[in-house]
Structure 1
Amino acid sequence: MKENSQGYFLTAGMMTWFRNHYLNGKQDKQNPMVSPMNNKDFSGIPPTFYCHS
């Protein structure tokens, strides 16, 4: 995130600000509803293509 954190509309500082106002604390970062890759059980969901860059 640091490599491209400046020179664009959404800076790293702004992303941190939004994240801190969206989440209720550190444990929310681990919530699968916030970060689907933290889910331990993927059964019962439709086939999904997840791409993260």
Structure 2
Amino acid sequence: MRKVVLNMTMTLDGFFCGPNGELDWMSQAPDQELNDDIVAFFQGVDQGFIGYPTA
């Protein structure tokens, strides 16, 4: 049986995007340590799902 992992990105107030659907808060480049962690996470992923409307 496979393990299911949920990875969500949101602001501290629990929203994914601004009132007009903007995602500008996510556009900043992560530092190298965070980037390495993200790459390591996705190297262990078999499949992924992207949700609407932020995809």
* TM-score normalised per structure 2: 0.25
Larger relative contact order (C-alpha < 8 A, sep ≥ 6)? Answer: 2
* TM-score normalised per structure 1: 0.25
Q: Comparing both structures, which one devotes a greater share of its residues to helix?
A: 1
Greater CA radius of gyration, 1 or 2?
A: 1
